[in-house]
Structure 1
Amino acid sequence: MKVCLALILLASAAATSAADLKVQSCGSSATVNVNGIKITGCDKNPRNCIFKKGQNANMSLPFTSSTQIQAVHAKVSGHLGPLTVPFSLPQPNACINSGLVCPLQADQPNVYVASLPVKRIYPSVRVIVQWELLDEHDNKLVCIKFPVQLQN
């Protein structure tokens, strides 16, 4: 019985979703489906997503805005203690090649998809990544934070 319980606990720990990673909201005006978020390297480690240097980190982020949004742009930064370092996205306009069709309609589900290059020059450190989707007035439509370990 104890062995079965241990196996069940081990299996449930291995099945980590973004919600298990403590993805936190940092001021979203839209409703974010936290359980539907998928992030590269988050399925094997319950404490950090593992981003491999020299590869892309991919994300799928479902959300619903309560109002119509004309334009959306993405912004990503890493927080390392008191330092905030911006990361460059290949396509910061979230209305282009990111799964969104702008203008976004009110009360309609959307899924933002993005790929972030993890450069080899980045140090192998643990950072808190903040990913924001901003509307045409630079208001936070979506803002999430999650822990990442950068690795070779």
Structure 2
Amino acid sequence: MAKLLLLLLPLAGLAHASNISSCGGSAQVNTANIIVTGCDQPSQPCIFRKGTMATIKLPFTPTSQISAVKAEVHGILGGVPIPFPLPNSNACNMSGLNCPLVAGEQYTYQASLPIKRIYPSIGLEVKWELKDGDNSLVCIMIDVKLE
């Protein structure tokens, strides 16, 4: 039994070493399939370089038909959400989604977020959410370092 625990302990650490995690939503999402700029090291924060665009490719499968999807991004500082404006918050327009979305089919949301030079060089959590009205369809948290 002790040998089994010694073998499993490193694996348990890997399961929690991701810089992208789910924070809820009604859709099915595998965070291992999400691609975000600067997230090259799973156990390190994603690097968002000022003056560039952070990009995301987020595959998900809705569990019900969805007529409209809105994207929202917030930086979480000291527990306080601070909005990051997206150039296009309508996820059904030029983001890889053709609404309405059909239940059980996989879709991939794609977007870019400008990382402005005026942003401070800090570490923070970024909450990227796709919403169906007031309901969360997809919610992910990204561990980020602004440089």
- In structure 1, C-alpha distance between the alignment counterparts of 2:73 and 2:98, rounded to whole Å: 20
Q: Does 1:61 align with 2:36?
A: no
Q: 1:140 aligns with which of 136, 139, 143?
A: 136
Moved segments of 4+, more than 6 Å: none
Q: Which residue number in structure 1 is paired with residue 68 of structure 2?
A: 71
Contact 2:48/2:144 (8 A) holds in 1: yes
Q: Deviations over 1:9-37 (max 9, x none)?
A: xxxxxxxxxx8524222121100121110
| 1:47 to partner: Cα distance | 1.6
| 1:45 to partner: Cα distance | 6.2
Task: Structure 1: give runs of 5+ residues left out of the alignment.
Answer: 1-18
Kindly tell me the number of residue pairs found equivalent between the two proteins: 132
- Would the alpha carbon gap of residues 124 and 45 (structure 1) be closer, same or farther in structure 2, given more than 3 Å must change? farther
Q: How does 1:1-152 map to 2 (within 5 A)?
A: 20-44=17-41, 46-135=43-132, 137-151=133-147
Task: Structure 2: give runs of 5+ residues left out of the alignment.
Answer: 1-15
Tell me the TM-score normalised to structure 2 length: 0.85
- In structure 2, C-alpha distance between the alignment counterparts of 1:26 and 1:54, rounded to whole Å: 28
SS of the residue corresponding to residue 24 of structure 2 reads: coil
Q: CA RMSD in A?
A: 1.3
Contact 1:21/1:146 (8 A) holds in 2: no
Contact 1:21/1:42 (8 A) holds in 2: no
| 1:80 to partner: Cα distance | 1.3
Stretch moving more, 124-133 or 40-49: 40-49
- Would the alpha carbon gap of residues 24 and 61 (structure 1) be closer, same or farther in structure 2, given more than 3 Å must change? same
Tell me the TM-score normalised to structure 1 length: 0.83
